[in-house]
Amino acid sequence: MAAKFTVASTQPETGSSVLDELIGAVPAQSPAPAGNKFVSQLDANSPLDEVESRITAATNEYVVEVGTLLGLVRDNEMWRKSETPYTSWEEYLRIRWDWTPQYANLLIRLVPIVQAVSPHSDRPVNAGQGKALWPIWTQDGGHDKAVEVFKQTPGKKSAAAITRTAVALGYIDEETKPQKEARAAAPPAVLSRFREFADLVSEGDGKHLIEAAKADPDWGKGALLPTLRQAVWMLESEFGDPSDD
């Protein structure tokens, strides 16, 4: 049976998670590293590999940590310090992290939103929640409106719930039928591939995933781990915390 992940740490309920084993991290019940403390100690003069190691190790405050560090790399063109001759920010993201510029830039711009509403949450605020608040944040008085929407959203505060609250408060318009249809379900072929991937990940309680990552540690840490974290955050922002069900 596949491990059950939680929003707070992307770790299973007990013991070490698949993600932990990939990076040799601590068990799920141990305190997470003080991410922001280490992030604040880094600047444009820091070694690129040190910044990248913090990106890889980001845990609970994923959006703030990774978004802040990516902003540091992008805005100061730190990617030029790499031994790999990257020609652009976009190429750096694709080769080093297997991320799109859209995803990386999203995390960067969500940092102030997540920081603003985090004091009103009992768990780390994820990218999906921040993205739902973005249309409100960009309005006049967006900071206060975003905080109001977040505080008034009941229950799990999923991205969908945040949007419903924003509509109810009159800050954004309700999604039209054509817009909903534009977000149609994935084609059967794509859905089938994701199901095969889920079966592969859970096969042998994740042991095969660990073996694949250890066979190529650079790929395991630099591409697979960030991608899995991204997927977990996206799914939990849509469906909420499964441990609450």
Per-residue pLDDT tens over the stretch 65-95: 999 999 999 999 999 999 999 999 999 999 9
**Token couple for 68:** 């802040």
pTM given for the model: 0.64
Look at 208 and 29; give whichever has higher pLDDT.
208
Cα separation values, 93 from 26, 50, 197, 205, Å:
27, 16, 23, 31
Per-residue confidence band for 37, with pLDDT thresholds at 50, 70 and 90: low
Of 34-38, 156-160, 163-167, 174-178, the poorest mean pLDDT is in 34-38
In this predicted structure, what is the pLDDT of residue 193? 78
The answer to whether the CB of 37 falls within 8 A of the CB of 80 is no
Per-residue pLDDT tens over the stretch 39-64: 678 888 999 999 999 998 887 788 99
Q: Helix 62-75 and helix 101-117: axis angle, to 10°?
A: 130
The answer to whether the CB of 11 falls within 8 A of the CB of 17 is yes
Q: Helix 225-239 and helix 62-75: axis angle, to 10°?
A: 130
In this predicted structure, what is the pLDDT of residue 242? 55
Q: What percent of the chain has pLDDT over 70?
A: 72
Of 12-26, 63-77, 143-157, the poorest mean pLDDT is in 12-26
Per-residue confidence band for 195, with pLDDT thresholds at 50, 70 and 90: confident
Q: What percent of the chain has pLDDT over 90?
A: 43
How confident is the prediction for the chain on average, in pLDDT? 77
